[in-house]
Amino acid sequence: MKWDWSAVSDFMPHFWDGLLVTLQILALGSLVSFVLGLVWALLMRVPSRFVTWPVGAVTEFVRNTPLLVQLFFLFYVLPEWGVTASALTTGVLAIGLHYSTYTMQVYRAGIEAVPVGQWEAATALNLPVGRTWTAVILPQAIRRVVPALGNYVISMLKDTPLLMAITVLEMLGEARLFSQQNFQFTEPLTVIGVAFIVISYLASLALRALERRLAH
């Protein structure tokens, strides 16, 4: 096996295209998972089994089925029912929905970690329910769970190659296409492997810095 730097040079324009798509998936998927996870967590605190049971059933089903199966279902099955979206949009929604069931548990832990005295103080001040959540509970809960949410961002990054299965050309998709067209597999796959390591490492450093900042 001989390393070919010219293959690396030829692949780099494709790599940058794939990197941009990967970062788009990561940013938008994280946003969907964080927002939807918070919605799930709040709904699970509604004092009605008519709300908590369906939410619990849906989130358990999503969490316990493979992301790849969910991608295939959203991309290939839903269009038969008249629901269509681009491959990138489908991938973002799928990865966001999947990870929202995990971020939900993180939010729930953060909310339950808020001292009881904070709830009692809000009640004593006669704060409305909405104000209690937005001004007292959620700021404290989210501050506690930011590091855990950051870990799921890194996990989402590692799962972005699955979107190649529904024709999204993220980093691995670009590498595979380039390799098949040029019969050179070592160089492009090595480049994206190094890229995943570098991005994950930088993200972990940023996460540690944020964790230290929130600890003060």
The per-residue pLDDT for range 147-199, each reduced to its tens digit, is 889 899 999 999 999 999 999 999 999 999 999 998 989 999 999 999 999 99
What is the torsional sign of CA 89, 92, 95, 98?
negative
Contact 123, 136 (CB under 8 A): no
Rounded Cα gap, residues 203 and 182, in angstroms = 32
**83-99, pLDDT tens digit by residue?**
989 999 999 999 999 99
User: What amino acid occupies position 98?
Assistant: H
What superfamily does domain 12-170 belong to in CATH?
A: MetI-like (1.10.3720.10)
117 vs 156, residue with greater confidence:
156
Rounded Cα gap, residues 95 and 26, in angstroms = 9
Contact 3, 188 (CB under 8 A): no
pLDDT of amino acid 193? 94
Scanning 47-128, the segments in alpha helix (DSSP H) are 49-63, 67-72, 87-113, 116-124
Rounded Cα gap, residues 69 and 7, in angstroms = 34
Q: What's the whole-number mean pLDDT along residues 116-131?
A: 84
Q: Where are the domains of the chain?
A: 12-170
User: Which residues have a Cβ under 8 Å from the Cβ of 170 and sit 6 or more positions away?
Assistant: 18, 21, 22, 25, 160, 161, 163, 164
Contact 43, 108 (CB under 8 A): no
pTM of full prediction above 0.95: no
Half-sphere exposure (Cβ direction) of 30: Cα atoms closer than 13 Å: 17
pLDDT of amino acid 1? 62
DSSP symbol at 173: H
| SS3 category, 144 | helix
How distant, in Å, are the alpha carbons of 77, 81, 87, 90, 130 from that of 84?
A: 9, 9, 9, 9, 36
How distant, in Å, are the alpha carbons of 1, 24, 28 from that of 35?
A: 47, 17, 11
